[in-house]
Structure 1
Amino acid sequence: MTAAFALLLRDLRLGLRQSIDVAIVVLFFLAAGILFPFAVGPAPGTLSQIAGGVVLVMAALAALLSLDRLYQPDYEDGSLDGLILSPLSLEVVALMKALSHWLSTGLPLMVAAPLLALMLNLPAEAYLPMLAALGLATPILSLLGGLGAALTLGSRRGGVLLTFIILPLYVPVLIFAVAAIDAARLGFAGQQNFLFILAGLALATLALTPWATASALRQAVG
């Protein structure tokens, strides 16, 4: 357990040294999101209808920006070989990497999401469901992103390949997260059902992706 937290702290410290990367992710999230009013028009009703979808899709795209750096630096400097040979389980390594990605990407996006929602005229009653949906969806995005980063490790044009692999896996997560926000916006009582489904997806992803990621890392190094 101590070794796992040491790895997590190491990755977070490395991320803080490149704090500009976190800023770029958040700025992309906000800047890309506020382009939608220019495309669909500034009508408050129209913006309110699309606000939930815009926030979730922008969060997914912003999360993709930092995925190629999840394992690539360790792969290039040989640190990944040391992690594979260390007593620390590679599944735990994958889990800690995903957690560090969420803390440095998903959490800042959750903090910035209300600002984007405000600019898109999301109703006040949908803010808490939006944060709940992001709180369940962003860890899934990080876990699936870690799997994609491991699968494309060492590949030429891995960033492009990573996008094609990961985006289809993101779709079910985005559907249920946006459905929870829209249910709250429209005053429907079933928003909890969509959040429960998201929670189930989060648990399933947490149970399965570390094993798949570890296997992909072994294949990439071997």
Structure 2
Amino acid sequence: MSSVESPVGAHGGRRAPGFSALLRVELLLALRKRADIANPLLFFVTALALLPLGVGPEPALLARLAPGMIWVMALLATLLSQESLFRGDFEDGSLEQLTLSPQPLYFAVLAKSTVHWLVTGLPLALLSPLLGLMLNLPAAGYLCLLLSLLLGTASLSLIGAVGAALTVALRRPGLLLALIVMPLYVPVLIFGTGAVQAAIDGYAFGPQLAILAAMLAAAAALAPLAAAGAIRICLDN
């Protein structure tokens, strides 16, 4: 019996796996795909490491560019890994099984998005202070950079799930996926970089973080619903 299968329910059939079981299984599956985890992190680190070579090593210039560049690269690294969010499940037929499960598809999408953040967004956020040091980010911006990326990358994972669901049936969805989710990523990028810049300039950055938290709450409530609906439409066609 699979670890996600629960005992027989009161009506004689199997009860749907709980959210914690789905989360645990998705995390175990994600950890087996080490290349999928490493690629976004390598892109994030390599792109930012090349920045001083492209724009020059002047500390003042790097300090001015650091908040925006770290956030942009984190966004692109997150997008890089979104394409495979539902791809494997679609190809092996397990995505269709999830839609037929008594468990609402909302929770399966939420579990997959959460695991995507745990293996992609969380490491990116934890690496950001080190890269900020390399780019001469002022000391006042480190805490805000970490907090804003923790909130922002979680929103990016949830929003990206909608684009991944809409394009799951396509062979090469990369460009279309980017066109779908990029406009939705822009508000997160604006308030994320704005919070870090406010911290560096000595202003209060709490309001920007509060807006990022509100975006995360809205994305957690709405994005899995939209992604679940998109998956059902793609499978019906």
Please classify the TM superposition score into its range, dividing by the shorter chain length: over 0.9
* 1:35 alignment partner, SS class: helix
Aligned twin of 1:213: 227
Aligned twin of 2:118: 103
Letter in 2 for 1:117: G
Distance 1:163 1:25 in 2: 15
Distance 1:171 1:144 in 2: 11
Aligned twin of 2:164: 149
1:74 to 2:74 alignment? no
Q: CA deviation at 1:2?
A: 5.0
1:89 to 2:89 alignment? no
TM-score normalised by the chain length of structure 1: 0.96
1:199 to 2:218 alignment? no
Aligned twin of 1:37: 52
1:176 to 2:174 alignment? no
Distance 1:108 1:114 in 2: 11
Q: CA deviation at 1:11?
A: 1.6
1:162 to 2:167 alignment? no
* 1:34 alignment partner, SS class: helix
Distance 1:82 1:197 in 2: 37
Match for 2:36 among 21, 32, 42? Answer: 21
Q: CA deviation at 1:19?
A: 1.3
Unmatched 5+ residue regions in structure 2?
Answer: 1-15
Distance 1:21 1:73 in 2: 12
Aligned twin of 2:27: 12
Q: What per-residue deviation string (whole Å, max 9, x for no partner) do you get for residues 185-213 of structure 1?
A: 11123x11111111111111112111111
Letter in 1 for 2:131: L
- Contact between 2:17 and 2:103, CA under 8 Å: does it hold in 1? no
Distance 1:40 1:63 in 2: 24
The answer to which of 180-189 and 141-150 deviates more is 180-189
Aligned twin of 1:57: 72
TM-score normalised by the chain length of structure 2: 0.90
Q: What per-residue deviation string (whole Å, max 9, x for no partner) do you get for residues 117-137 of structure 1?
A: 111111111100011101110
Distance 1:219 1:35 in 2: 42
The higher radius of gyration belongs to 2
Aligned twin of 1:113: 128
Unmatched 5+ residue regions in structure 1?
Answer: none
Aligned-residue RMSD, C-alpha: 1.2
Distance 1:131 1:114 in 2: 7
Distance 1:16 1:193 in 2: 35
Aligned twin of 2:13: none
